[in-house]
A and B are shown apart, each in its own frame.
Chain A
Amino acid sequence: MATSRFIASLRRLRAVAMKEVRQLSRDRVTFGMIVGVPLMQITLFGYAINYDVRNLATVVQDQAQSSMSREFVAQLRATQVIHVAWQTDSASEVDRLMREGRASMAVVIPADFERRLQSETRPVVQILVDGSQPSLAGVANGVAMLPTISRHGMGPYAGGKRMAPRRIEIRTLYNPEKRTAVQIVPALIGVILSMTMVLFTSGAIVRERERGNLELLIATPLGRLELMVGKLLPYVGIGLIQVTLILVVGKLLFAVPTVGHFFDLYCAALLFIAASLGLGLFVSTLAQTQFQAFQLAFVTMLPSILLSGFMFPFEGMPEAAQWLAQILPLTHFNVIVRGIMLRGADLPEVWPQALKLVVFLAVMLTVAVARFKKRLD
């Protein structure tokens, strides 16, 4: 008796899942989004977001015109951060180029450059930065820190013995070339999944309500767990397809390595997919129309993208934002996925984050199941 009931239950669950797959395969827009969203995002983010600034158009006004000042400019060039597009002796020319926005940076070497190098207190070189471009200020700091200019790095000049500066070695672990794509692509897995999973599932469930299908379903013996699981199951598959797509494109276009095991990566992805589906399910219990569901999905997505450490470094955020970020599954998934893909971590090594995802999933499911009634009121 119990087994036959279980089999009947499985049959209903399977019927719901099959129906969902069939509908999905006929819904060209959604179907296109499954593949289109990851492809678009990965190319967009991979190519456009570039934290490593190179070849900034720079104007150099070398008033010293000494061998030492020329050597200094050559060293700046060698960093590839700046591209010396103009050399001039006129301050007004520098001014004009900056104002017109053609030069992002100006390096002004004073006439008494060599004497200033001897001094401990006077600034050696003036660097002008276009502050209207947000990411450039940081770059200027970076340039200022170059051993050539920084006061601590002045030693070689002060002694006048060697022109080669004593380099402060900055080693970047795990992403030695500091390529943004290597940081972005793993994080994109989570971003894309939280976009599509929450959007698709909340939309799919609310659509049934909006079109009146739910009213019919309620009148059948279909249980609410069967309905929920049956509807979510196809999206687990879709999520895994998307993960694969991102990994393949990340490898092909941006040569993003996967240091850790794929098995661990997929397990973590599965956990995150489940958490996102739980969130989608919860959203679906709040929304009456698809439009509301999409709006709510976006409301959950924005903090995920902004606070999870995907866009901005987590450490720089105010405490309240960090606290809020702890609630977001994407924050923890990003730690896990970067760990596995870039540092070659095993699942057990990232268990605290995995545990947080499990907790999030459990809470979401509990709330969603409690709210998802097999009634209209």
Chain B
Amino acid sequence: MAITARQLTRRFGEKTAVDHIDLDIPAGRIYGFLGPNGSGKSTTLRMLCGMLLPSDGHAEVFGLSVVKDAEAIRRRLGYMPQKFSLWEDLTTDENLRFIADLYGLEGDVDARIAQARNTYNLEKLRAQRAGTMSGGQKQRLALAAATLHSPELLLLDEPTSAVDPQSRRDFWERLFMLAEAGATILVSTHYMDEAERCHGLAILAEGRVVSEGSPRDLMNGVGADVFEVEGADGSEAPRLLRALPWIHGVTQLGVRLRVLVDRSENAPADQLRAVLKQHGIDAKIEPTHASLEDVFVVATRREKNGD
């Protein structure tokens, strides 16, 4: 295991940002934290790199305590904060050179920087100051800096939030290359499509891990049947359905409604049809596969209801 956490907790005054979470993150994998803003993703990442002290519980990275051995962990870790944190008044080369000095890179440092420029497509930006770069360019530079010392563990805090779709795809290609080369990557996101690409995933809500597993297992074990309801748009169907206790969620997708029905219900499709008919709505109801978003909706709803 690259990372283990037991009952890891962090409070800020009255507020509990991270609430007794357990983690077991294997080495060489891309592991995702999926959750909305304020769910404790950043706070957990910061505790793992020794930047914040846990209020309770403990965590180990490579078997080293994040409290006592923070300095030793830092040498083997690359961290990319949510906000661009390199120096905007320095150029690509100057930023990378500074980071290389901080990590005490040995040997041909110029060659390593050149290689990083090549990998992250920064050749044309060599002499450009970071402050004048686009979101995607900044992100490539930040990733180049975070990986310059070939860390065994990479912590990425919402790395793609300020980046266009094509840059996001390229970014993930690079993450897979890094993972293939043996790095463990822990990435937080609130994008479902990104979460789906992770090997393993923890869904966080209000500081707790509400669901954990591979995206496929999570989708299979969602605990709800998913139906698409067609022909009920513009009606009061969403409001009606949401009021029912055995319905986890209703999402409008264009003309269709995506309805999550609790697994404990028998013949859920018939029940749905009956409810709608009662209100004079004649809709076409078809079962479909659960998506990660469905998993997220069910997991966070369960958390809110406290069961």
Give chain A's interface residues, CB within 8 Å of chain B.
8, 11-12, 14-15, 18-19, 22-23, 26-27, 211-213, 215-222, 375-377
Contact = CB atoms under 8 A, between A and B. Distances in A.
Going nearest first, the 5 A-B pairs with the smallest beta carbon separation are A15-B101, A219-B79, A216-B85, A212-B83, A8-B104
Contacts of B51: 215, 218-219, 375-376
Contacts of A220: 74, 99, 102-103
A216 B141 CA distance: 13
Given A15-B102, A19-B90, A377-B52, A215 B74 contact: no
A219 B104 contact: no
A14 B98 CA distance: 10
Q: Is the interface of A mostly helix, strand, loop or mixed?
A: helix
Given A216-B81, A376-B51, A23 B90 contact: yes
Q: Is the interface of B mostly helix, strand, loop or mixed?
A: loop
A222 B103 CA distance: 8
10 contacts: A11-B101, A15-B97, A23-B89, A212-B83, A213-B87, A219-B51, A221-B74, A221-B104, A375-B52, A375-B53
Given A23-B90, A211-B85, A375-B52, 14 more contacts: A11-B101, A12-B104, A15-B102, A213-B86, A215-B85, A216-B79, A219-B49, A219-B78, A220-B74, A221-B75, A221-B103, A221-B104, A376-B46, A377-B53
Contacts of B101: 11-12, 14-15
A220 to B, nearest CB: 4
Contacts of B89: 22-23, 26-27
B152 to A, nearest CB: 14
Contacts of A377: 52-53
Among B50, B79, B102, the most chain A Cβ lie within 10 Å of the Cβ of: B102
Contacts of A15: 97-98, 101-102
Interface residues of B, number: 29
B81 A215 contact: yes
A212 B84 CA distance: 7
A23 B98 CA distance: 12
A285 to B, nearest CB: 17
Among A23, A218, A219, A377, the most chain B Cβ lie within 10 Å of the Cβ of: A219
Contacts of A12: 101-102, 104
